Structure 1
Amino acid sequence: MTLLVSLRRLSDGVNHLAVVLCVACILAMLGISFTAFLYKLLTGSTLSWTYSLARLFLPWIGFLSMTISLRYGEHVAMTLLVRSLPRPLVQLAAGACLAVMALFAAMLVWYGWGFFQNATQIYMVSDRIQIPSQVTAIVVPLSGLIMLLHLVHGFALLEHFIDDEATIHDLIETPDSETPR
C-alpha cells in the first residue's frame, strides 16, 4: 500500500470522526437548549448558564463543518467559469485552487496555534462552570491540519473534473433494481 493511499484512508477516517464530533456538538447544543426550555416550562424561572454553554459549541460546529464540506467538494467554487476554459487551463486553475486552499489551511494552523497559545482567559459560563478559552481556540489549528490532510485527495476535491453528461447518462441507464434505496 502506498503512502498516498494510506493518507487518503486516514483523511477519510478523520473526516468520519469530524462528522461524528459535529453531530455530537449539535446534539449537545440541542440538549442544553431543550433542558433550558423544560426548566423554564416547569419552574417559570430560567437557567442562566444554558445560553452561554450552548454557544461554546458553535466554533467547533463551524470549523469542523468547513473541513467536512472541503472533503466532499462542497466549498465555494467557480465551476461554470472554470469549465468554460480549455482543458490545460482547467488543470492550471484546479492546481491554483488547491494551492490557495493549502495556503489557507497552513495559515489556519500557523495563526491558529498562536491564537490557541494566547487564549488564556477563563470563560465564565456560571459561577461554578468555568471553561478555559483554549477549549474553543484549539479548533482553529485543528481544522487547518484536517484541511491539509484532506488535500491528499487532490483534484477529487474539486468539481472541475466531473463530467455531468456521463453522470446523467449513467443514472438514466441504471435499472431500477440497481438503484440504492
Structure 2
Amino acid sequence: MKLLQPLRQLSDWVNQAAIIACVACVLIMLGISFTAFIYKLATGSSLSWTYSLARLFLPWIGFLSMTISLRYGEHVAMTLLVRSLPRALLTLAAALCLITIALFGALLLWYGWTYFATANQVYMVSDQIQISAKFTTVVVPISGAIILLHVTQGFALLEHFIDDDALMDELIGTQDTETRS
C-alpha cells in the first residue's frame, strides 16, 4: 500500500490546514463581535452589519470541524456494540463504516459542487458590504473532498481497533516521562 502513504501524509497536512482555517474563522468572528462591542461602548449605537458578517463564517467552522473530528476518530460510533463482535464481524463492520463515510464524502462533493456552482445570490451584509453566496457554499464540496482524502487513513479513523491497554500504557508512560523532565 505504498500508494496510500502519500495520500495519508496529504490527509494529515490538509487536516492541519483545516484546523488553522477553523481557528482563523473563530478569531475573525470574535474580532467582528469585539469590534461591534467596542463601537457600541464608544458611540452608544450599533453596527448593523456585524451579526450578518460574523454568521457567514459558521458554515466554514461547522463543515471543516466535521472533517477534523472525523480524522481524529471523534465521529459518532457505536464502539461498545462493535467491539463485542467477533474479529471477522468487527472488520466487516469497520469496512462498512468506511464505505458509508466515503459515500457521504462523495455525496457532499458531488451535490456540494452543484450547490456551489449554481449559487448566484449575493448576501447584503450592508449597503457597502455584499458577499457572494459562493463564499459559504464552496465549503460543502471542499469538506466532501477532505472526507474522501481522510478515508485513505483506513481503519485508523475508527476506534474499533484501538487496543485500550496499549493506549493506557502509552499515556501512563508519557505522563511519567513528562514529570521526570
- Unaligned regions of 5+ residues in structure 1, if any? none
Distance 1:174 1:135 in 2: 43
Aligned residue pair count? 181
Distance 2:57 2:179 in 1: 38
Q: Tell me the alpha carbon deviations over residues 32-67 of structure 1, each in whole angstroms, 9 at most, x when there is no partner.
A: 000000000110000000000000000000000000
SS class of match (2:19): helix
Measured on the aligned residues, the alpha-carbon RMSD in Å equals: 1.7
User: C-alpha displacement at 1:178, in angstroms?
Assistant: 5.0
Structure 1 residues 77 and 178: CA distance shift in structure 2, 3 A: same
Scaled by the length of structure 1, the TM-score of the pair is 0.95
Scaled by the length of structure 2, the TM-score of the pair is 0.95
User: C-alpha displacement at 1:167, in angstroms?
Assistant: 1.9
User: C-alpha displacement at 1:80, in angstroms?
Assistant: 0.4
1:105 aligned partner: 105
Distance 1:175 1:64 in 2: 31
Distance 1:173 1:134 in 2: 48
2:77 aligned partner: 77
Distance 2:99 2:170 in 1: 32
1:165 aligned partner: 165
1:87 aligned partner: 87
Distance 2:15 2:7 in 1: 12
1:34 aligned partner: 34
> Equivalent residues in 2 for 1:1-181 (5 A)?
2-172=2-172, 176-177=176-177
Structure 1 residues 22 and 173: CA distance shift in structure 2, 3 A: closer
Structure 1 residues 180 and 40: CA distance shift in structure 2, 3 A: farther
SS class of match (1:85): coil
Distance 1:69 1:25 in 2: 17
Partner letter of residue 159 of structure 2? E
User: C-alpha displacement at 1:176, in angstroms?
Assistant: 2.0
User: C-alpha displacement at 1:134, in angstroms?
Assistant: 0.6
User: C-alpha displacement at 1:173, in angstroms?
Assistant: 5.3
Identical counterparts, % of pairs? 70
